[in-house]
Structures are given as structure tokens and as C-alpha cells.
Chain A
Amino acid sequence: MSTLRALAAAQAVAAGAAQPVATVRHLHLSRRPLVLVPLAMAGEANAPLAAMVGAAPGEGRLLIVPQPRNRDQRFAFAAELAATVLPYLAGHRGATEAVAVDRGRDVRYRYLDAPQLLVPNPAGVTFLRLLGRSTRFRRVDGEYPVPPEVPLLGRWLTFFAERAEHPGSSALLAMTQALTLHWATGQSAVEDLHLPALLGWIAPPAGLTGAGAAARAEDPSVCPPAGPATDPGFDNRLLAPAVEAYAAAGDDEAARVEAYARLERLLRDQLTPTWDLMWRGLGLLRALPPGARVAGRWDGDRDAFTAQSEHIDEGGAPQPRRDGAVAAAARLHRLERAAATYAVQRAYDDPLVLAEYRLTGEAFVGEVVLADPARVDDSGRRPVLRPRIQLVTTEPVLVPVGASLCSPARPGQKARVVFVTPTADGKTEVVLELSGGMGRGLTATPGSVPEVGQRLCYTTLSEAYVPSGAFPAVEETPWTHGGPPDVGPAAVADGAPPPEPEPDEAWA
């Protein structure tokens, strides 16, 4: 928790309303995101109870499972969900663009747009991950066949759940996390997981303070929880009798239709408030201007979507239950790199995020008081253009001499710290030597060297490309990490069970 964000929370308490912690939007929003609000049956292993799904506020489709413990009905639910999700995904497989790879020696193609899924909260992401896990290995033949869309949906849900772990990805977003990335409320992080309360703080209804709206949102009879868990009171008082009535109807068609309609009504009433809040949250986020680097990160999501589409088209295998040693290490490395890049990009895009680094001395803003734009360093083999500037700042400067800094306003230019000198009046003078981004000759192109009087921020955060680590091929997994995994006939000949999956794993 940064002090800056904590201060915003304190201000929110005093103001009775959420306070901004970002000046730009740090995530991509699709023009037509698919909103998905799932409900799960209490006590069961991720058994779907209902969902509302659709790509526009007026297009919410309600899916329900009248007997959540019935496995056939669960797969029927998955098939119905697939009937909405898969066409939505397919709708993004239209035009492609060429992307140069391998330093321009080759090109690959990626879709111009990618799908985006929105769920209310992190538990919703977990629900989709587990729904993906429970369906992607289902067989379309054999003893318990399911329609082919079911395992396909499972593979896509797994894809989205994995993207959701990738810092900076916008492929699958939890609304609560998207909102708290931009606002601080006057309540704790656990309370912020409750979407109605969170939105109460950010956009209270007329006549209520944020705190008042949040308190009201805590009463489940006024404001149903945003799922996937249902309110136990609702389960006991309303849902249980309705589920029983449906079961009791048996073959009595009229009674069954009536019981189904009652269940549908109940579940619609539980889901609609959250459905509306999802679109309200989306509207609030849309009102923020996107950060400059958001589109670049979305390119990564488009790449991933393209790669996954191709993988499925080519008959590739579903994602394994668990990564092998090499794949797990590579994935961890990827996520760490993504997290570092994401942190830098957010700071570069947003002065309010950058301010967190200024507070800790990893960045400072100063005024240019001296500039020598024509300075040439001729101590080496060839003379090189190395202008120097001197800044004065009132902020703490915790960077050592020799460190390499960057200014978010001039990301292509490096600045080496030459002197850091505290002055008598409590300020700090910093002398920087610049390289890069000034043209090719020994004279800087106009405007490429900061001028006296300019205010600039310099920071240790750098966007410079860091090459990714090298990992052995799967076949070369070192013995310290279990050695290469057994594959193919050898394992079967040993009588060992095939690694993936148990096809008869009942979902009941």
C-alpha cells in the first residue's frame, strides 16, 4: 500500500465519497465487452446455478440450472453458455494485420480486435477458471458424451482465466479490481470486493453519501451479493423451496413449467441488480481517458487471442491440469516481466501513479536551471554528443551518482546522474548527462535537449527492453526438476495412467 493511495482512502473517509487514484484509465475497454455474472450453488464444487450474460445492457440472457446437483443439467448449462460465448469470440476473428517479427525478416498476423470478458469480482474469475477446468477435458464420445461446444468453451474459459493472471492484460477483468485501480474508497480492501458497496462509494445514488450507499448495499435483501456465492438467506427462504418445487413437479408438465418460471424469476431478481451495476461500472471507467500505453498492452491480448485461436484450429491439446517444470518456470518468468513492465507503464502514463515514486525518492521533478546542449565528449575514440543539464528540485533524490534515469516525457533519451548536490536552502541540484534521442550528428536536433526553465521528471523506472530469460526445451528438463516428462507410448507401456485427464471424472 503506497502512502499516496492510503492518503486517498483517508480523504475518501472524510469526504464520504471515493477519491481518484489515477488520472487516466489503465486498462483497455472493448466497444462490446461480454459481461458475465455467474451464480454458483452453495456447498457444491463450482456448480453453476445461474448466469446472466450478454454484450449490451439490453441483451442480458438469463441461464439457469433448475437442479444444480444434476450433472446433465450442468453440462446443458455449459452448452447454453457456449452458445453465447463462442459466437461472441468468433465475431472477433475477422480482419487481421501483419506484424513484423524477427527484426522485420518475417511477419505474422493478428486479429484487429479481441474479445473481452467482464465479471463482477475475483471470485467470478475463479468461477470461470474452475468451470473451464471442469469442462475442457470432457469427452464428446464414450459413456458420458457432451456436445463439442462444452470442451471448447472450457478451453476458452481457461485461456481467459490464465490471461487474467497476466499483469496488464484486459482480456478478462473483474469489475471490482478495475474500479479500485482508479478509485480509493473509505472502506477496507475486503469490503471493496463487494461490488454494490464499492460502486456506492464511487457513484452514490442521489441523496446518499458514499458511506451511506455502501452501508445500504450490505443488506442482502436490499442489494443481492454480486456472486458467485449467493446470500444464505436467499438460499434458505426462497431458492430451496423453489428448487424443491421443481423437483417435486416431476413429470407433471404444467407444474414443472410453473416451477421453472418461478425459479427463473427468483434468479433474475438476484442477478439483475449486479448486471446493472456492471454496466454502470463500465460507464464510469469509459469516462476516463485511456493511458498512452494501454493500446500497446491490448496488442498483447490480441496476440494471445490469435495464438489461442490458431492453436485450437490446428488441433492442439487443451491446457494441461498442471504445468510441467519448464513451462511453469517460463510462465512465472513471463508474469514477473509483465508485472515490472506494467508498473513502469502505469507510472509513465499517469502523473498520479508516478507521484508514488516521487514520494519514495525513485523519481523527482525539478526545474532546468542550466543547459549545455552542445557539449561533446571527445575523450573516447570518437567524439559523441553528450549534453548536460542541471536541475533544481525540492523533492528527495535517492538516486546514486552514475545511475541511469529516464524522463517519461522523453522516453527515448537516457540521463546519467553526474552530480547530486544538496543546497543550503534544502533543495537538491542534480546534473545529468544526456544520450540518445537527439539526432545523428554532433549537434542536437532542436527541442531534443531540455531548455532552461522547463520542469521535468526523471526516474529510475525504465521502459528499456529487457531480454527474456532462456529456458531449456521440455525434452531437456533438468533432472533436478523431475527430468523430461514421460510422453506417449513409453508411459502407456509402463502401465502408467495417461497424464491427461481422467475422462470419466464425474461432475456430480
Chain B
Amino acid sequence: MTSSEERLATIRGGVPPRRHNARTIAALTGNPGCTRRAVLDGAGVDKPLLAERIGFPAGFGQSRFAITRGNAFEAQVKADGGTELLRLVAERLGVPVPATASWTDLGHGDDPAGRERRSAALLAAALPTAGSAAAVFAAPDVAAAPAAPDVAAAPDVAGAPDVAGASGAAASEDGGTGEPAAALFDHPLLGLEVAGRRVHLEPDLVAARLGGRFHVVEIKSFPVIDGQADPAKLAAAAVQSAVYVLALRELLAAYGHDPQLVSHEVVLVCPRDFANQPVAHLLDVRKQLLVVRRQLDRMARLDTLLAAVPADFTADPAADPATLVGSLSQVPARYAPDCLASCELAYFCRHEARGQTGTLGRPVREALGGITDVAEVLALAGGERVADPERAQAAALLRAAARLRADALGGVPA
């Protein structure tokens, strides 16, 4: 253990760190400027439990109905072993639908490390060796790729069930053109470093060798009605998918391949309109990639953040609530109403920030001349003398606003 790791373990208390997943990593981008959150999430603190211990339980439940529906839709989309999915993805990418494709189920097996190794080897071996991508990137012969452990370095999927109705031999070549057949990987296990710890990530599907690229495929059960989806759900899906793209790119880079072989376009499969019929959409996640990358880099430099955290800082849920509150208040937070949807500590931080204009939202704070304290806003509006010349303008505005409000409410004729 490095000293940082020890430090984080102490902060968290005698419990193992909470596992991150794509959703929690996506949530990290919610309030990137918040040190409190970076430290707590970096240490893998059980924030829901912590919030409960300090008397501000979070309300982040998920309905069983939503979970069931999500699983049922994914199962339905994959039910035929990927034939329909292959068609949807290929058509959306604008490439001819391959007659066959291999299908590899990587979703099983109990040992995550083993699963990750197996997924990595198979994915790295599924390089698009033909087509446009090979032209722009001199892809090394698959067999020559850096030692892929545990698996025969063959372009076809060793031991994978061949579900597309083709024979094992046909699966590796498409229609005798010599091009390696498309390959679909069901629930591969990817890895990403978050604050120095390896986090396992499980995308719904990765499609290889379609349009000369790897594509992350996400299956979501929210509907796209007349071409429009719920913007909040779409935004969340984009950030999560970006996390997978990043993990897949790092995997390729680790094998010495060009990470850009993973497309920044994610294929989102959703039910169409009010039916269960799946339909594929492309999501450009370039912006989200930058945001996630930036936040992961920040988490990777946790030492810097930790340097400013008091030595006795603890977020161990077993500690006394008063101690926890005292401890938390020593690490600066940056509460904003957005926290309510993205961080389990929101009710606590909101309570702590009461009386500050930031709790009302950024537009309100800006309209108040950027003054952070409600009491100060009201004092200035009431005509109190301004000591700080930088506030003179805000003070004049607030005074005028207060006078106009009082006039209008007092019935002074306009």
C-alpha cells in the first residue's frame, strides 16, 4: 500500500472500499469542483451510509419495476443471440449487415480478475484487420499482438458459442471475402483506474469489426418517441457510455494498439415509441469523454487534494455522528442544487450551505451580483455602507432593486 492508499483506508474506516461502476463514475462528473466529494469517492466511502449516520439520509432509490423492465428489454434485444442486434447496429453505422458474426458471452464466471483478463484478450484480438481502419492505422497482425494471456491469439473467438447460425469456420470469415467477421461481445468486463484503484466495468455489448471500429453498444429501456428521448436520461446514458469507451480505449492502448480504434460514437439501443421494438441511435460522446477523463485525472492526483485535508479527517460510518459532521466540515464542499440529483451527501451539504445564495442556483446568485451570503445581499439591499469597492456596483443594483420592489408592493403608482 502506498501512503495515499493507507490514508484513504483510514478515512473510510475498517471497511472495504465501495465498488465503483459506470454509473458512479458518471456521477463523479456531476460536481467536479467539489473536494469533499473527490476525497470521499476517491476513498470509496459508503456515502449513503455516511449520510444516514449524520442524519441526512439520501433519497436515491430505484424502483423494482424500472430494474425489471431494463433487464427484460435487454434480454429481449439479445434473445436471438444477437442476430437482430447485429442488424440494428450495422444499419445504424451504415455498413452492410454481415451474414454472420461471432457472439461471445463474457457475462459469466465468478472471478472478476479472470473475467477481465479473458475479456481483454478476446477484445484485443478482435482488431479490425481489414477495411478502412486498417488503412489509417497499421494494425499489427493479430497474432503478433502483445502476449495475450489465457487465450489463443486467434481472430475468431476461441470456444465462443457460435450463435449466428454459421459454422465455426464461417464465423471467422465473412462470406469468403477474407475479411474477419464481425464480433459481438456480450457483457465484457473492462477495467479503469479510479483514484488508484482498479474498477470493473461491464458494458452491455461491444461490437468489433463493424465499420472498421470497435463500438460500445448500450441497451437502455427508456423510449425514444418520435425521435426524442428524455433529455436527462439521454445525458446520463452518454456519460456512462463514455466511461466504457474510455476503458476500452485504455485496453487497446495497453496492448499497443491505437485507442482511436474505439469509436467515439456509441450505439444506443432503445425501445421505439410505445412499442418494445428496439431501435438504434448514435450518440457522439466526445464531450463526455473529455469530462470523464478530466475528472479521473483529478482523482488520480488525489495526493494533492489529500494534502489539504486535515490528518485526523475521518468518514468512517462507524464513528460518532458528531465527529463525522465535524470532520466533514473541515473539507470544503461546493454545494449546488445539481448535487441533489448526483451525490448522496446533498441534503447534508445543502443544510450546511443554508443562507448562501448558491443554494438557490447559479442564475440567482449571478443575478444578485455574485454575492454569496443572503444576509449580505439583504444588508446591501437595505442600504448598508459598502466597505469593499468591488461590491459597489452590486450594492447599487441591489439597493435599486429593493427600492423598486418596495414601491411596487407598497402600491406606489408607477
Interface residues of A, Cβ cutoff 8 Å to B: 1-11, 13-14, 20, 23, 41-46, 130, 133-134, 186-191, 218, 220, 230-233, 235-236, 239-240, 321-322, 350-352, 354-355, 358-359, 365, 395, 408-409, 455, 457, 505-508
Contacts and interface: CB of A to CB of B under 8 A. Distances in A.
Contacts of A4: 401, 404-405
Given A9-B364, A45-B223, A506-B275, A3 B397 contact: yes
Interface in B333-388: 337-338, 340-341, 347, 354-355, 357, 359-361, 363-369, 374-375, 377-378, 381
17 contacts: A1-B363, A3-B369, A3-B398, A7-B401, A10-B374, A13-B354, A13-B355, A43-B66, A189-B337, A190-B337, A190-B338, A190-B341, A232-B63, A232-B66, A321-B226, A505-B274, A506-B275
B64 A5 contact: no
Contacts of B412: 351
Contacts of B63: 42-43, 230, 232, 235-236
B135 to A, nearest CB: 36
A354 B414 contact: yes
Contact of A506 (B222, B274, B341): B274
B414 A408 contact: yes
Nearest to A407: B414
Given A130-B225, A354-B408, A359 B397 contact: yes
A67 to B, nearest CB: 12
A10 B357 contact: yes
A395 B409 CA distance: 18
B273 interface: yes
Contact of A218 (B59, B361, B413): B59
Contact of A240 (B64, B223, B400): B64
B30 interface: no
Interface in B68-104: 68-70
A23 B375 contact: no
B136 interface: no
Nearest to B340: A190
A236 B64 contact: yes
Interface residues of B, number: 59
A315 B326 CA distance: 70
A231 B59 CA distance: 9
Q: Which of B354, B360, B374 has the most CB of A within 10 A?
A: B360
B358 to A, nearest CB: 9
Contacts of A186: 360
A431 B174 CA distance: 84
A236 B61 contact: yes
B65 A359 contact: no
Contacts of A235: 63-65
Contact of B66 (A42, A46, A352, A408): A42
B368 A455 contact: no
B407 interface: yes
Contacts of A46: 223, 225, 274
Nearest to A22: B408
Interface in B250-276: 271, 273-276
B119 interface: no
Given A11-B378, A13-B374, A236-B63, A355 B408 contact: yes
A14 B379 CA distance: 11
A1 to B, nearest CB: 4
Contacts of A239: 65
B413 A455 contact: yes
Residue with the highest number of chain A CB atoms closer than 10 Å, among B68, B225, B378, B404: B404
Contacts of A358: 404
A20 B408 CA distance: 11
A358 B227 CA distance: 43
Nearest to B376: A10
A115 to B, nearest CB: 26
Contact of A44 (B69, B347, B405, B413): B69
Interface of B: 59, 61-70, 221-223, 225-227, 271, 273-277, 337-338, 340-341, 347, 354-355, 357, 359-361, 363-369, 374-375, 377-378, 381, 397-398, 400-402, 404-405, 407-409, 412-414
Contact of A322 (B65, B226, B363, B375): B226
Contact of B65 (A43, A133, A321): A43
Instruction: Give the interface centre of B70, B227, B275 by most chain A CB atoms within 10 Å.
Output: B275
B375 A14 contact: yes
Contact of A187 (B59, B61, B359, B407): B359
Nearest to A133: B225
Contacts of A455: 413-414
Contacts of A191: 337, 340
Contacts of A10: 357, 360, 364, 368, 374, 377-378, 381
Contact of B61 (A7, A130, A233): A233
Contacts of A7: 368, 377, 381, 398, 401-402, 405
Nearest to A186: B360
Nearest first, the 5 closest Cβ-Cβ pairs linking A and B are: A232-B61, A43-B69, A43-B66, A42-B63, A6-B367
A359 B404 contact: yes
Contacts of B273: 45, 134, 505
Contacts of B375: 14
A241 to B, nearest CB: 10
Given A133-B274, A508-B274, 19 more contacts: A1-B366, A2-B367, A3-B397, A3-B401, A6-B363, A6-B364, A6-B368, A13-B374, A43-B66, A43-B69, A44-B69, A45-B274, A130-B225, A134-B274, A188-B360, A189-B337, A233-B61, A321-B226, A359-B404
Contacts of A189: 337, 361, 363
Nearest to A5: B367
A410 to B, nearest CB: 12
Contact of A45 (B62, B67, B271, B378): B271
Contacts of A359: 397, 400-401, 404
Contacts of B221: 43
B57 to A, nearest CB: 9
Contacts of A188: 337, 359-361, 364
Contacts of A457: 414
A134 B273 CA distance: 8
A240 B414 CA distance: 58
B52 to A, nearest CB: 13
A507 B407 CA distance: 56
A9 B381 CA distance: 13
Contacts of A187: 359-360
A508 B76 CA distance: 13
A15 to B, nearest CB: 10
A236 B64 CA distance: 6
A508 B365 CA distance: 46
Contacts of B357: 6, 10
Contacts of A231: 61
A500 B280 CA distance: 21
Contacts of A6: 357, 360, 363-365, 367-368
Contacts of B363: 1, 6, 189
Contacts of B365: 6
Nearest to B228: A322
Given A42-B65, A45-B273, A355 B364 contact: no
A408 B408 CA distance: 14
B378 A43 contact: no
The interface centre, meaning the residue of B222, B337, B360, B414 with most chain A CB atoms within 10 A of its CB, is: B414
Contacts of A321: 226
Contacts of A5: 367
A44 B408 CA distance: 48
Contacts of B341: 190
Nearest to A11: B378
Contact of B409 (A190, A352, A507): A352
